[in-house]
Amino acid sequence: MALGFRLRGSTVVFAITLATPTAAAINLVSVQDEIKLGQEAQREVRRQVPVVGGSVGPYVGGIGRQLAAHAAGPRYPYSFSVANYREINAFSLPGGPVWVHRGAIQAAQNESQLAGIVAHEIAHIARRHAAQQISKGIVANGLLNLLGAVLGSGHGARAAEVGASVLANGYLLKFSRDDEREADAVGVQIMRRAGWDARGMLEFMEILRAKEGRDPGVAIFLSTHPAPADRVARLRSIVGGGGRRDTDAFRRIRAELARMPPAPAMPR
Ligand SMILES: [Zn+2]
């Protein structure tokens, strides 16, 4: 569930595609700048992405807030939105915003599986994976002047300016395998602390693997998620039983979604 959102109709000028993760995590972007960049991105995503109405957003927001309360790290302004797209996907923006596609909710069979998706995205934010990827991209692309602009004086305004110029041209940010593994492991901890059965995360990944190659809606998810077999094996070794698996609220939300017109496909 990497940040793999691409702004519609725009070209990628800030593609971060480092094949090998560096040994040590680098964080050249401050928490404040990270939040500002995320807010810029969120504004753009909100303009372009249709949101699911009814009780779905508040329900996912409720799960997200319970999970985020148990995340370590900076106190980010987490927010949770549901995109009315049929593809199975979820993504996070730097410093707080989490998006879940309607297709992911409809593919989940119980609430713990949905909680697993959300917890994984919260973990990416809490562990500052986007800030690290942006830092690596800045260094790899020789954009230290851009970094200077982010970190220089007049902090907020400059950061917003840089964020806007980056985002106006679109971006494609993929997390490394290590980031994905860490988001799984940290997400499992968050789920347990918040009282959900962490096996839900593993179950959802198994649903995806079963659909692989048969359901085109899974392709986008798998394109941003390296080595699902490897992740399943690792998850199997860390999730234990216990905790909340399902609720009446989840079943009501599923019924509400089933009554809505089908979710449209994500524009390419
Ligand atoms: Zn992920």
Each residue of 198-217: pLDDT tens digit?
Answer: 999 999 999 988 888 888 87
Determine the residue type at 166: V
For the segment 115-140, the average pLDDT, to the nearest whole number, is 86
40 is known as an active-site residue: no
The helix/strand/coil state of 99 is strand
Q: What is the pLDDT of residue 7?
A: 38
Radius of gyration of the chain (CA): 18
What's the CA gap between 225 and 211, in Å, rounded?
A: 14
> Given pLDDT bands bounded at 50, 70 and 90, which one contains residue 13?
very low
- The β-bridge relationship of strands 97-101 and 172-173 is unpaired
Binned at pLDDT 50, 70 and 90, residue 61 comes out as very high
Amino acid identity, residue 252?
R
Span from the CA of 154 to the centroid of ligand 1 (angstroms): 33
Check 121, 180, 182, 203 and give the catalytic one: 121
78 has pLDDT over 50: yes
Task: Say what the pTM is.
Answer: 0.83
Q: How many whole angstroms from 92 Cα to the centroid of ligand 1? A: 8
218 residue type, one letter? V
What spacing in Å lies between the alpha carbon of 159 and ligand 1's midpoint? 25
Average pLDDT score, the chain: 81
